[in-house]
């Protein structure tokens, strides 16, 4: 077994193949033109969907209420137990 304190691991090698921008190829793959109105509508729709999904998700609020309730009950029980021993 070859054990050394100053062992340096080998350099990691990756199979990186650089991608280059080819304007002709870009034109054929993305032939539709950019429409700012469609983009704005899609953006608003996505934002509205996210906003409403956060509004409808009240589980986190309920869990916080339950945690506060449980902590309050435990505090009252601890107070009663300590008041008995005093």
Q: Is the pTM of this model over 0.75?
A: no
Q: How far apart are CA 60 and CA 58, in angstroms?
A: 5
- Res. 1: pLDDT tops 90: no
Q: How far apart are CA 52 and CA 45, in angstroms?
A: 11
End-to-end Cα spacing for the chain: 67
- Res. 2: pLDDT tops 70: no
* pLDDT (tens digit per residue) in 37-52: 888 999 999 988 887 7
């Amino acid at each position: 077994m070859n054990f050394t304190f100053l062992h340096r691991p080998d350099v990691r090698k990756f199979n990186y193949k650089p991608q280059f921008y080819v304007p002709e190829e870009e034109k054929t793959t993305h032939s539709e033109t950019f429409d700012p109105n469609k983009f704005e509508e899609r953006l608003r729709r996505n934002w509205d969907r996210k906003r409403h999904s956060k509004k409808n998700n009240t589980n986190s609020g309920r869990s916080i209420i339950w945690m506060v309730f449980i902590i309050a009950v435990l505090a009252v029980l601890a107070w009663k137990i300590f008041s008995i021993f005093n």
